[in-house]
Amino acid sequence: MRLQRQGKARSANATYCEASTVEGCFFIEIRCSGYSQGNHLVIMLAARRLIQLVSSPSMVRRWWPHVAELALILGAYLIYLGTRDRIFQDTAMINAQRVISWERSAGIFWEAAWQSWALENAQALVLAMNWLYIVTYWPIVMGVGLFLFVRNRSRFYYYRTVVVISLIIALGLFMAFPVASPFRITGMFVDSIQTLGPTFYGSPQMAVLYNTNAAMPSLHFCWSVILGVLFFRSLNGWSKLFGPAYPVVTFFAITLTANHFILDAVAGGLLAGLSFAIMAFAARRWPWLARTTGRKTGGNGPETYKPAR
């Protein structure tokens, strides 16, 4: 290999250290009899080279989109957790009773009867719904997001922005009208996940990671509708049916497990529609919102994602 630069340092006690950069790759070779002084030199040289690499324009351009998206996800999640401190437990329980009253007035308070029948006659179905409740949320949302980020950056930015819009609106609603999850009303509902498993999900150890007073609107159902639209627009043939099937399965998963009321899902569906409408309006007014510097796989340049109508 071609040696581009070589630095040597000798001390009074015969310390000898060598640092080399070979063909653009940095490595350090140490031959020290006085280890301490040579080790300090190695650390300084390595830190200097690392700073040069990280701060280079090419490296910034390559990694900035990834860092920005991670910061956005973590920031949004921390804000979501922060809303818990602005919600009173008693208020959330009172509002949950109000939701039950509204559903009874509309003749759609079916969740408790559904769950009671399933627990008595089809526990295997309830257990399946417990797992579907978990799988249809973060695993699919994050998995699809990662896939789109790698394969189709323009489409990723479009649907990511729709999700962010829905989250911003939902956070305001959580604080204005907090609603407790149905399973907290123990006289009517059962926490099926803690009863039948998997008990690790929703355990006291996980309580710091989510907000049980943020049931309305259901972000779980809202995001399943958003991804359902994505699947319906993107897939071909019979696979398009996965688009409407995904939110339908999610609806029964969130209600049979007593994590959400029916009206929570209704509000989540309306929120998804509102978020798409806001995105469409914003993209027409500010076209750069739908324009990215990412490339679709096989593409040759920037792409503007225009969803099929």
Find residue 304's DSSP bridge partners.
Answer: 291
Question: What is the per-residue DSSP string for 222-290?
Answer: HHHHHHHHHHHHH--GGGGGHHHHHHHHHHHHHHHTTSS-HHHHHHHHHHHHHHHHHHHHHHHHSGGGG
Task: Output the pLDDT for position 160.
Answer: 92
Task: Output the pLDDT for position 68.
Answer: 75
Is residue 249 within 8 Å of 227, Cβ to Cβ?
Answer: no
Tokens matching residue 300: 């040759």
Coil, helix or strand at residue 214: strand
Task: Output the pLDDT for position 36.
Answer: 52
pLDDT average per 10 residues of sequence, the chain (309 residues): 43 43 42 51 63 59 70 75 69 95 97 97 96 93 93 92 94 92 94 92 73 91 97 95 96 97 98 97 82 42 50
The contacts found for 297-301 with CB under 8 angstroms, 24 or more apart, are 297/151, 297/152
Interior CA angle at 167 toward 166 and 168, to 5°?
A: 95
Going by the DSSP 8-state scheme, the letter that residue 294 receives in this structure is -
Residue 218 φ then ψ, to 5°: -80, 110
pTM above 0.85, yes or no: no
- The contacts of residue 13 (CB under 8 Å, 6+ apart) are 33, 34, 37
Is residue 171 within 8 Å of 80, Cβ to Cβ?
Answer: yes
* Cα gap 15→17, rounded to integer Å: 7
Is residue 268 within 8 Å of 225, Cβ to Cβ?
Answer: yes
Residues in the chain: 309
| 266-290 burial: b if 16+ Cβ within 10 Å, else e | bbbbebbeebbebbeeebeeeeeeb
Task: Output the pLDDT for position 159.
Answer: 95
Task: Output the pLDDT for position 259.
Answer: 96
Q: Which helix (H) or strand (E) holds 102?
A: helix 89-106
| 180-215 burial: b if 16+ Cβ within 10 Å, else e | bbbbbeeebbbbbbbbbeeeeebeeeeeeeebbbbb
Q: Are strands 291-292 and 303-304 parallel, antiparallel or unpaired?
A: antiparallel
